[in-house]
Amino acid sequence: MSRPRRIIVDTDPGIDDAMAIFFALASPELEVVALTTVFGNAHTPVCTANALRLLEIAGRTDIAVAEGAHAPMAMPFRGPADFVHGGDGQGDASLAPPSTRPVLEDAVELIVDRVMSAPGEITLVPLGPLTNIARALQAEPRLAANLAGIVLMGGNAFCGGNATPAAEANVVNDPEAADIVFGAACPIVMAGLDVTERIVMTGAQLDLIGEVDHPRAQHLAAILPCYRRFAREASGLDGIHVHDSTTISYLLAPQHFSHRSHQIRVDTGHGVGRGKTWPRTRPAQHGDDPWAGRPPVTILTDADVDAVVRLELGRLGVGL
């Protein structure tokens, strides 16, 4: 097998973040270099504790956790999504506190250090608001040129939002940061709601995770009921949208996805559209061009749902 692809996962764990992290850790094609944390589904210190706990559960305390931003770049934090992920970000499953600690570097320092010391090798996988990534791009102007790429969960190009009618949760939690990241001069893949809301893991499939005799699967079985309750109440869904794990599925099996390529701007205004990711779908006609100079972004638009769900469940130990 070729060398594993090296990734840094920037995350706000988060129930679907936990699924994505375990999915990545169970995939030999990927080397998880570090987890960096950000506010989002919970406040940052809670997300950091969760990241540490997840690595302890997975038996991977060799992987560094670096704490990141506590608030967006240009506004106060809108507040945790406790109605989705529980007050502790992990389904109110009464987890023991972690016994490990984050490294002394903060998230931006870690990202810049690891990327610049391995030029062209590292892919960033952001699963939360893009604050740390934007700050790292600002702190080191050569960062983008030294990345293998960014594969992120966030945004909505051709569909409505989930946090507001216009916007997706990760992007609306820091639209200014997202607009910086979508302007980075490196390959960017956007796994937003266009594709993640098409990928449903059914209740019956989720039940199979609980039958797997492995600490990772048992942790997911303990935290998933909270997420399933929200999906049932919010969308009448018997199952969940597979948001964050879609990044990992794409890294492992891009052939299962269809995509379109457009430049992206993020609405950073303070009206109803705040946080909407706008693809440029027609050429500039006259006057100012807000998309000028932006790199094309690979926007995932659809997937072979059965193949993607089977891939993730298989890696989590479910025999299908």
Which residues contribute to the site for Ca ion (CB under 5 A)?
12, 14, 17, 127-128, 244
Q: Which does 309 bind (CB under 5 to 8 A by kind): Ca ion, ligand BDR, none?
A: none
Among this protein's residues, is 243 annotated catalytic? yes
Q: Which does 169 bind (CB under 5 to 8 A by kind): ligand BDR, Ca ion, none?
A: ligand BDR
> Minimum CB separation from ligand BDR for residue 280, in Å?
23
Nearest CB to ligand BDR, comparing residues 112 and 274 = 274
> Minimum CB separation from ligand BDR for residue 127, in Å?
5
User: Using CB under 6 A as the criterion, which residues of the chain lie in contact with ligand BDR when the complex forms?
Assistant: 14, 16-17, 41, 81, 84, 127-128, 153, 162, 168-170, 243-244
Crossing angle of the two packed helices 131-139 and 107-116, in degrees rounded to 10? 60
Nearest CB to Ca ion, comparing residues 12 and 194 = 12
Q: Are 32 and 127 in contact (CB under 8 A)?
A: no
> Minimum CB separation from Ca ion for residue 127, in Å?
4
Q: What is the 3-state secondary structure (H, E, C) of the chain?
A: CCCCEEEEEEECCCHHHHHHHHHHHCCCCEEEEEEEECCCCCCHHHHHHHHHHHHHHCCCCCCEEECCCCCCCCCCCCCCCHHHHCCCCCCCCCCCCCCCCCCCCCHHHHHHHHHHCCCCCEEEEECCCCHHHHHHHHHCCCHHHHCCEEEEECCCCCCCCCCCCCCCHHHHCCHHHHHHHCCCCCCEEEECHHHHCCCEEEHHHHHHHCCCCCHHHHHHHHHHHHHHHHHHHHHCCCEEECCCHHHHHHHHCHHHEEEEEECEEECCCCCCCCCCEEECCCCCCCCCCCCCCCCCEEEEEEECHHHHHHHHHHHCCCCC
Q: Which does 44 bind (CB under 5 to 8 A by kind): ligand BDR, Ca ion, none?
A: none
Q: Which does 91 bind (CB under 5 to 8 A by kind): ligand BDR, Ca ion, none?
A: none
> Minimum CB separation from ligand BDR for residue 81, in Å?
5
Nearest CB to ligand BDR, comparing residues 140 and 244 = 244
Nearest CB to Ca ion, comparing residues 24 and 294 = 24
Catalytic residue (choose from 85, 219, 241, 243): 243
Nearest CB to ligand BDR, comparing residues 129 and 279 = 129
Residue with smallest beta-carbon separation from ligand BDR: 169
Nearest CB to Ca ion, comparing residues 27 and 50 = 50
Catalytic residue (choose from 10, 12, 88, 244): 12
Q: Which does 194 bind (CB under 5 to 8 A by kind): Ca ion, ligand BDR, none?
A: none
> Minimum CB separation from Ca ion for residue 174, in Å?
13
How far, in Å, are 53, 75, 88, 208, 251 from residue 150 at the CA level? 25, 24, 28, 32, 10
> Minimum CB separation from ligand BDR for residue 282, in Å?
27
Q: Which does 168 bind (CB under 5 to 8 A by kind): Ca ion, ligand BDR, none?
A: ligand BDR
Give the active site residues. 12, 243
